[in-house]
Structure 1
Amino acid sequence: MAKPVKGPDETKKAVGETITFVDQDYERRKLFLPNWVVLEVVRGVVHIRSDNQLALDYMRNRPDFKEQEPSP
Protein backbone atom coordinates (compact mmCIF):
# COMPACT_ATOMS: atom_id res chain seq x y z
CA MET A 1 0.00 0.00 0.00
CA ALA A 2 1.35 3.43 -0.93
CA LYS A 3 1.98 6.03 1.76
CA PRO A 4 0.02 9.27 1.43
CA VAL A 5 2.15 12.25 0.47
CA LYS A 6 2.24 14.97 3.10
CA GLY A 7 1.88 18.59 2.06
CA PRO A 8 4.30 21.27 3.28
CA ASP A 9 2.00 22.39 6.12
CA GLU A 10 1.50 18.86 7.42
CA THR A 11 5.22 18.26 7.92
CA LYS A 12 5.58 21.37 10.12
CA LYS A 13 2.93 20.57 12.74
CA ALA A 14 1.69 17.21 13.86
CA VAL A 15 -2.02 16.82 14.48
CA GLY A 16 -2.77 17.49 18.12
CA GLU A 17 0.18 19.80 18.67
CA THR A 18 -0.63 23.09 20.33
CA ILE A 19 0.38 26.58 19.34
CA THR A 20 0.68 29.17 22.08
CA PHE A 21 -0.29 32.82 21.79
CA VAL A 22 0.74 35.41 24.38
CA ASP A 23 -1.82 38.08 25.28
CA GLN A 24 -0.18 41.52 25.27
CA ASP A 25 -3.00 43.20 27.23
CA TYR A 26 -4.68 40.83 29.71
CA GLU A 27 -3.82 37.98 32.06
CA ARG A 28 -7.29 36.45 31.89
CA ARG A 29 -10.20 36.83 29.45
CA LYS A 30 -12.46 34.93 27.09
CA LEU A 31 -12.54 35.34 23.32
CA PHE A 32 -15.64 34.40 21.35
CA LEU A 33 -15.02 33.26 17.78
CA PRO A 34 -17.59 33.62 14.99
CA ASN A 35 -18.49 29.90 15.19
CA TRP A 36 -19.31 30.21 18.93
CA VAL A 37 -16.07 28.58 20.04
CA VAL A 38 -14.68 30.18 23.19
CA LEU A 39 -10.94 30.60 23.71
CA GLU A 40 -9.82 31.26 27.25
CA VAL A 41 -6.72 33.28 28.12
CA VAL A 42 -5.19 32.04 31.37
CA ARG A 43 -2.02 33.56 32.85
CA GLY A 44 -1.63 35.63 29.69
CA VAL A 45 -1.56 32.73 27.24
CA VAL A 46 -3.98 30.75 25.11
CA HIS A 47 -3.22 27.36 23.56
CA ILE A 48 -4.75 26.31 20.24
CA ARG A 49 -4.53 22.94 18.53
CA SER A 50 -2.63 23.07 15.26
CA ASP A 51 -5.56 21.53 13.36
CA ASN A 52 -7.99 24.33 14.40
CA GLN A 53 -7.43 26.57 11.39
CA LEU A 54 -10.30 28.97 12.17
CA ALA A 55 -8.93 29.76 15.64
CA LEU A 56 -5.37 30.10 14.32
CA ASP A 57 -6.46 32.54 11.61
CA TYR A 58 -8.44 34.53 14.17
CA MET A 59 -5.52 34.79 16.59
CA ARG A 60 -2.93 35.60 13.92
CA ASN A 61 -5.01 38.59 12.81
CA ARG A 62 -5.20 40.14 16.27
CA PRO A 63 -2.57 42.78 17.09
CA ASP A 64 -2.92 42.18 20.85
CA PHE A 65 -1.59 38.59 20.62
CA LYS A 66 1.86 37.37 19.73
CA GLU A 67 2.49 33.83 18.52
CA GLN A 68 5.11 32.16 20.69
CA GLU A 69 7.92 30.35 18.93
CA PRO A 70 7.98 26.60 19.68
CA SER A 71 10.80 25.49 21.94
CA PRO A 72 13.19 22.92 20.45
Structure 2
Amino acid sequence: MTENYKSYLLKQIKKWEEDIELYERYLDSKDLSFDGKYGAKEYISMARNNIDEINLKLNRLNKGNI
Protein backbone atom coordinates (compact mmCIF):
# COMPACT_ATOMS: atom_id res chain seq x y z
CA MET A 1 0.00 0.00 0.00
CA THR A 2 2.82 2.41 0.74
CA GLU A 3 4.04 2.53 -2.86
CA ASN A 4 0.49 3.01 -4.15
CA TYR A 5 -0.05 5.77 -1.61
CA LYS A 6 3.21 7.48 -2.60
CA SER A 7 2.21 7.27 -6.24
CA TYR A 8 -1.18 8.77 -5.41
CA LEU A 9 0.45 11.62 -3.46
CA LEU A 10 2.88 12.37 -6.28
CA LYS A 11 -0.02 12.53 -8.74
CA GLN A 12 -1.78 14.96 -6.41
CA ILE A 13 1.30 17.20 -6.34
CA LYS A 14 1.36 17.21 -10.14
CA LYS A 15 -2.34 18.12 -10.24
CA TRP A 16 -1.86 21.02 -7.81
CA GLU A 17 1.17 22.27 -9.76
CA GLU A 18 -0.83 22.22 -12.99
CA ASP A 19 -3.64 24.13 -11.27
CA ILE A 20 -1.17 26.73 -9.99
CA GLU A 21 0.18 27.23 -13.53
CA LEU A 22 -3.36 27.60 -14.86
CA TYR A 23 -4.32 30.21 -12.27
CA GLU A 24 -1.04 32.10 -12.68
CA ARG A 25 -1.75 32.35 -16.43
CA TYR A 26 -5.23 33.62 -15.56
CA LEU A 27 -3.68 36.29 -13.33
CA ASP A 28 -1.52 37.41 -16.28
CA SER A 29 -4.64 38.25 -18.31
CA LYS A 30 -5.65 41.87 -18.68
CA ASP A 31 -9.33 41.85 -17.74
CA LEU A 32 -9.57 40.73 -14.13
CA SER A 33 -12.29 41.59 -11.71
CA PHE A 34 -11.37 42.12 -8.08
CA ASP A 35 -13.16 38.91 -7.13
CA GLY A 36 -11.50 36.94 -9.91
CA LYS A 37 -8.05 38.16 -8.95
CA TYR A 38 -8.64 37.55 -5.24
CA GLY A 39 -10.13 34.10 -5.87
CA ALA A 40 -7.22 33.04 -8.07
CA LYS A 41 -4.68 34.18 -5.49
CA GLU A 42 -6.55 32.34 -2.75
CA TYR A 43 -6.67 29.17 -4.83
CA ILE A 44 -2.95 29.36 -5.57
CA SER A 45 -2.25 29.78 -1.87
CA MET A 46 -4.44 26.79 -1.02
CA ALA A 47 -2.76 24.68 -3.70
CA ARG A 48 0.71 25.54 -2.39
CA ASN A 49 -0.38 24.65 1.15
CA ASN A 50 -1.70 21.32 -0.12
CA ILE A 51 1.62 20.62 -1.84
CA ASP A 52 3.43 21.40 1.42
CA GLU A 53 1.15 19.00 3.32
CA ILE A 54 1.68 16.26 0.76
CA ASN A 55 5.44 16.74 0.97
CA LEU A 56 5.24 16.33 4.75
CA LYS A 57 3.34 13.08 4.28
CA LEU A 58 5.89 11.86 1.75
CA ASN A 59 8.73 12.68 4.14
CA ARG A 60 7.00 10.74 6.92
CA LEU A 61 6.46 7.81 4.58
CA ASN A 62 10.12 7.81 3.60
CA LYS A 63 11.13 7.80 7.26
CA GLY A 64 8.62 5.06 8.08
CA ASN A 65 6.52 7.20 10.41
CA ILE A 66 3.22 6.46 8.67
Common fold by TM > 0.5:
no
TM-score range, shorter chain: under 0.3
More strand by share: 1
* TM-score normalised by structure 1 residue count: 0.25
Query: RCO higher in 1 or 2 (8 Å CA, sep ≥ 6)?
Result: 2
- Greater Cα radius of gyration, structure 1 or 2: 2
